[in-house]
Amino acid sequence: MTQFTRLYNNFQPEHYDIYLDINRETKQFNGRTKISGNALVNNIALHQKNLQIQSVHINEKEIPFVIDDNADLIKISTETIGQIDITVTYKATLTDTMMGIYPSYYELDGVKKQIIGTQFETSFARQAFPSVDEPEAKATFDLSIKFDEQPNETILANMPEIRTENGVHYFDTTVRMSTYLVAFAFGELQSKQTVTNTGVKVGVFSTKAHAPKELDFALDIAKRSIEFFEDFYQTPYPLPHSWQLALPDFSAGAMENWGLVTYREAYVLLDPENSALNTKQIVATVIAHELAHQWFGDLVTMKWWDDLWLNESFANMMEYVAIDAIEPDWHIWESFQTSDVVSALKRDSTDGVQSVHTQVEHPADIDALFDPAIVYAKGARLLVMVRSLIGDKALREGLKRYFARHRYANAAGADLWEALGEASGQNIKAVMDSWLEQPGYPVVSAKVIDGQLTISQEQFFIGEYEESDRQWQIPLNSNYDVAPQILSSKRVVIGDYAQLRESVGTPFRLNDGNDSHFVVKYDAQLLKDILEHLDELDNISQRQILQDLHLLADGRQITYADIVPLLVNFAHKDAMLVNAVLYSILSDLKKFVTPNSAEEKALKEFYDVLSRKQVKRLGWAGQSGESYDNQLTRPYVLNASLYAENPDTIATAHELFEKNSDNLQNLSADIRHFVLANELKHFGNTSLFEQLLTTYRKSSDANYKADLRSALTSTPKPDLIVKLIDQLKDADTIKPQDLRGWVYGLLVNDKSQQLVWDWVREQWQWLEDTIGGDMEFTMYITVIAIVFHTPERLAEFKAFFEPKLNTPGLTREITMDIKVISSRVGLIAAEKDGVNKAISEAIK
């Protein structure tokens, strides 16, 4: 098995002079890269991948070289120790894998076009130019590019263009940066630009397939985000411009290339006149996330990929800090509670999950590190915990020190804790090591034992697990001052409960604000007290009660049947925070019923009982000036009512479809996919199906396309399902970047699950060949595991994926997902009868 060789230990680049001549028609490019740097030993190497090396020169003298394709290396020897210049000439091919230098395809007025873009994270710069392709190997870059240029085309890079000579575009020298942050793009583009209050040029670029107004929202958010970060970090943005580029084909959500941030179109472009609030929030937080990286990740970069969390966890937290500051009416931290917190708690409860700080043992493991629920969501939650402990003043002062010490260089986690510790006067490292260096999180049990209020911690698991004696330093955030600030032992007796309850006057609670990464299990006495005073709690606290009960049920520490009678207490709440977790629990109840059974009919009635009044209150159409809570709650209750097959809701959706049949895109974006899916399910025919599929092919609006995909994959008709399956490998219809969403949509549809699962197994090699190097490839396994819940599907999953357990980069995901499905199957077998009985009693 190939292991990492750290090239930077032998040769340290200082400057790259890169020339590329790119031909889009032939998909070929020629390159010449000159690297100036310091050779520490005679035998050195550079990274390359799929480059046809023609010659290598050291100090202008041609030398022999050896290609090691297994390790992505050019091995060379130098007679000179110290400063040398290495010049490599080569040829290569543009990729169609959305990595390296690749074409991005789109259609304009019926004509197929392309723009060229790049994606070099994690280790794909070596597909474009020979290099020491490691985060610590920072250098400056001079980039010059020639291409088969056509009139009215634009070329962009990290730095401004300084001149054009003989068709070659020359760009200004970059600041010191890592190879994976180098970026460029060219093609027929449109843009809108502005300038920040400190003179930074900000622009948004897209193909001309989009209406110019779709660039406005991103431009405003980007400008204000940079201004916010300059103030919050107390460190100027270090480049002359910040370009935001929407690429039609893009594997990840976005990429923080310094000065030229690239995005999937859905995460930067939107129609300001018809976009749902949650879509605006997603776009805004993605932009803020990438711009947070311009300092935290780009200016200061992790030394090695094991500290990836330094980049991603921090940017994930700062996206919320920034948007909360520039759009305070959105209450964006509520979205953090309903997205990042949930995904972190669920993923982190499975035995075998990676810790936030994880060693990398094999090249494929770099991409496997990008577990969004851990490195992004959990890491962000841990940093929120730190922020709560030390406050914003110390956080900002600590970050200022951190940037000053490590700017244009690299850092490790200990460097951040040192800076924050100095600023706060607290030993942050001692607290955080227990969270970063070990996987999982605790359940804190609160009990009254012999009259004494007692709390204890142990690791929380969902599914099978090996016993653990792990222990955390837990910020308890209790509403009782006598509780310790940090629980660092296994068990603590707080005091006489009756006296404390009378003295404080409110029920005892832990994790007030839900900022700490643990769940709470109250005994029956304490939980009863809380539920009797439920309406006195704020929305986050009400949400937390349901969230923790939901997790405890998944962990078999309580039963789902225990939760069912409680749900009616929350059904009338206006808050999105509460409704999000309420309908998440309801969605999980579906796994306890068989399609088309009496139990499913009862569950649908339960859905109707819980959602009926809310649907009547909110209706289908948003009102002028209505609260953000109402806007964000409406989709939850409409979705529930449609699942319940409420006849009035179905009829209203049909009326909306017929009224807007001439221009379905004009349907309000926050309800559009419900209307389309309802029409296909209850009134659809082949003609409508073909109409929507054709519209999907032709549309350039990513959000509308997502609505169309949601509708099309929900069709119950077998012949139409077969047609969809036949489209999955047609890149002109379904781009590879969007394929996983189609697969998931077909998996959750009972009518199409078998066919798409058969397709995945039959086409797995094609999937690996097409997108196997993508850092999100393991998510294909994840989305299957999210859906499967029967013994038969578990057996099939194991039969297919267990032989792949030794595939680098897939081992952890397969192992964990077998446990996830096994746990779900066992839970259903044990509790199905009790849950369905509880549902029947709830609707009496």
> Is residue 501 domain-shared with residue 644, that is, in the same domain?
no
pLDDT per position as a tens digit, 106-156: 999 999 999 999 999 999 999 999 999 999 999 999 999 999 999 999 999
Catalytic site positions: 290
- SS3 at position 296: strand
More confident of the two residues 720 and 774: 720
Burial environment of residue 556 by CB neighbours within 10 A (0 to 12, 13 to 18, 19 or more) = middle
CATH number where 168 lies = 2.60.40.1730
Angle, vertex CA 476, rays to CA 434 and CA 325, nearest 5: 90
Which tens digits make up the pLDDT trace of 516-537? 999 999 999 999 999 999 999 9
Q: Which tens digits make up the pLDDT trace of 369-420?
A: 888 999 999 999 999 999 999 999 999 999 999 999 999 999 999 999 999 9
Distance CA 154, CA 55 (A): 32
The verdict on residue 55 lying in a domain is yes
Exposure class string for 671-708: b at 16+ Cβ within 10 A, else e: bbbbbbbbbbbeebeeebbeebbebbeebbbbbbbbbb
Q: Identify whether 589 is part of a domain.
A: yes
Using DSSP bridges, classify how beta strands 260-264 and 241-247 pair: parallel, antiparallel or unpaired.
parallel
Q: What is the CATH number of the domain that holds 608?
A: 1.25.50.20
pLDDT reading at 363 higher than 70: no
Amino acid identity of 446? A
Same domain, 400 and 501: no
Q: How far apart are CA 513 and CA 392, in angstroms?
A: 16
755 is written with which tokens? 């066919």
CA dist 269 and 59 (Å) reads: 47
Q: How far is CA 806 from CA 354, 726, 784, 795, in A?
A: 17, 31, 19, 19
Q: Are 520 and 637 within one domain?
A: no
First to last CA, the chain: 62
Measured in whole angstroms, how far is the alpha carbon of residue 688 from the centre of its chain?
33
**CB neighbour list of residue 662: distance below 8 Å, 6 or more residues apart:** none
Pairing of strands 100-108, 254-255: unpaired
Closest CA to 500 of 518, 479, 470: 479
Instruction: Evaluate whether 423 touches 395 at the Cβ level (below 8 Å).
Output: yes
| Res 342: pLDDT | 96
Q: What is the pLDDT of residue 1?
A: 43
**Longest Cα–Cα distance in the chain:** 88
**pLDDT (0 to 100) of residue 4:** 66
- Binding residues for Zn(2+), by number, are 289, 293, 312
Residue 216 lies in a domain: no
What is residue 731's DSSP assignment?
A: T
Same domain, 666 and 796: yes
Q: Are residues 535 and 594 in the same domain?
A: no
Residue range 213-226: mean pLDDT, rounded: 98
Q: What is the pLDDT of residue 197?
A: 98
Q: Tell me if residue 106 falls in helix, strand or coil.
A: strand
Residue 596: the pLDDT is: 93
> What pLDDT score was predicted for residue 809?
86
Classify residue 289: in a domain, yes or no.
no
| Residues 377 and 488 occupy one common structural domain | no
So what's the pLDDT on residue 460?
A: 98
Domain span at residue 538? 443-453+479-552
What's the mean per-residue pLDDT of the chain? 96
CA nearest 175: which of 83, 263, 243, 240? 240
The span from the CA of 35 to the CA of 258, in Å, is 20
SS3 303: coil
> Do 608 and 494 share a structural domain?
no
User: Do 724 and 791 have their domain in common?
Assistant: yes
What are the phi and psi torsion angles at 685 (to 5°)? -145, 180
Q: Do residues 145 and 30 share a domain?
A: yes
- Pair type for strands 442-449 and 452-459: antiparallel
Mean pLDDT of 444-470: 96
Residue whose C-alpha is closest to residue 46's, from 95, 92, 10, 83: 10
For the stretch 155-202, pLDDT in tens is: 999 999 999 999 999 999 999 999 999 999 999 999 999 999 999 999
155, 186 Cβ separation under 8 angstroms: yes
For residue 479, what is the DSSP state?
A: S
Strand 61-63 and strand 52-58: pairing? Answer: antiparallel
pLDDT bucket at 2, cuts 50 / 70 / 90: low
Confirm if 151 and 187 have CB atoms less than 8 A apart: no
Q: How far, in Å, CA of 275 to CA of 258, rounded?
A: 29
- Of 152, 187, 222, which residue constitutes the final position of a domain? 187
Alpha helix positions (H), 660-701: 672-682, 686-698
Domain boundary among the residues 141, 164, 187 is at 187
**CA–CA separation, 603 vs 592, rounded Å?**
9
- For residue 3, the model assigns a pLDDT of 57
Per the CB < 8 A criterion, the answer to whether 559 and 553 are in contact is yes
CB count in 10 Å sphere of residue 150: 10
Residue 746 domain-assigned? Answer: yes
Residues 62 and 129 in one domain: yes
In angstroms, the CA 541 to CA 316 distance is 23
For residue 368, give both structure tokens: 């496997």
145 strand-pairing partners:
20, 169
CATH number at residue 334: 1.10.390.10
| Burial state string for 359-374 with b = 16 or more CB within 10 A and e = fewer than 16 | ebeebbbbbbbbbbbb
Q: Give yes or no for residue 329 having a pLDDT over 90.
A: yes
Residue 399 falls within a domain, yes or no?
Answer: yes
CA 632/CA 575 separation, integer angstroms: 9
- Reported as a pLDDT band with limits 50, 70 and 90, residue 707 is very high
Tokens 């870059």 belong to 141
- Closest among 185, 114, 86, 204 to 143, alpha carbons compared: 185
Examine residue 232 and state whether it is found in any structural domain, yes or no.
Answer: no
Poorest-pLDDT segment among 267-276, 355-364, 484-493: 355-364
58 in a structural domain:
yes
| Statement to judge: residues 792 and 839 lie in one domain | yes
Please enumerate in sequence order all residues whose Cβ is within 8 A of that of 168, keeping only pairs 6 or more positions apart, or say none.
19, 144, 145, 146
Alpha helices in 294-437 (DSSP H): 308-326, 333-338, 340-347, 363-368, 379-406, 413-424, 428-436
How many domains, in total, are found in the chain?
A: 4
pLDDT in the model for residue 271? 96
Query: Whole-angstrom Cα distance, residue 655 to residue 659?
Result: 6
* Adjacent-strand bridge partners of 142: 17
For Cα atoms 750, 751, 756, give the angle at the middle one, nearest 5 degrees. 90
Rg, Å, the chain Cα set: 28
Contact 283/335 with Cβ under 8 angstroms? no
| Model pLDDT, residue 844 | 86
Average pLDDT over residues 242-254: 96
With 0-12 / 13-18 / 19 or more C-beta atoms within 10 angstroms meaning exposed / middle / buried, residue 806 is exposed
Which residues neighbour 401 within 8 Å (Cβ) at sequence distance 6 or greater?
Answer: 419, 422, 423
User: Would you say residue 20 has pLDDT above 50?
Assistant: yes
- The percentage of the chain sitting over the pLDDT mark of 70, rounded to a whole number, equals 99
Shared-domain flag, residues 608 and 523? no
Cα 400 to Cα 395: distance, rounded to the nearest angstrom: 9
